Amino acid sequence: MGNERARQFMPFSALKGFDQMVQEQERQTEPRRELSEESADALSRILTKLQKGAGVRVTYYRFDHYETVTGQVKNLDPVYRILRVGDCRIAIDDIFQIEERE
């Protein structure tokens, strides 16, 4: 009986997903930055010598902001221009910075 009464007063969201939508709209978007010629060359040199299993830290553009992922290279596909770090698939054209890690 007491359990039924407690359940009656439990919080609920009348508009499912509304809170998530508000949080999404409050998030700041970040414009995509262009790589300098020097940075593009450095990125290209690192990508050329990357090996499967190498530890990396990658900063890349995702939709409307930058994210950073750290992990091991699972695959680098030069044909489809995709770098896989852990479970993350990153388009090579979206990479802003890459650092090799031990």
SS (H, E, C) 17-42: CHHHHHHHHHCCCCCCCCCCHHHHHH
* Coil, strand or helix at 67: strand
Rounded-to-integer distance, Cα 7 and Cα 9, Å: 5
Query: Residue 80: how many CA atoms within 13 Å on its side-chain side?
Result: 8
Q: What is the mean pLDDT of residues 77-83?
A: 95
What pTM does this model have? 0.71
**Is CATH 3.90.1570.10 the right assignment for the domain spanning 52-102?**
no
The predicted pLDDT at position 29 comes to 84
pLDDT tens-digit profile of 6-59?
556 556 556 667 777 666 666 678 899 999 999 999 999 999 999 999 999 999
Torsion of CA 32, 37, 40, 45, to 10 degrees: -170
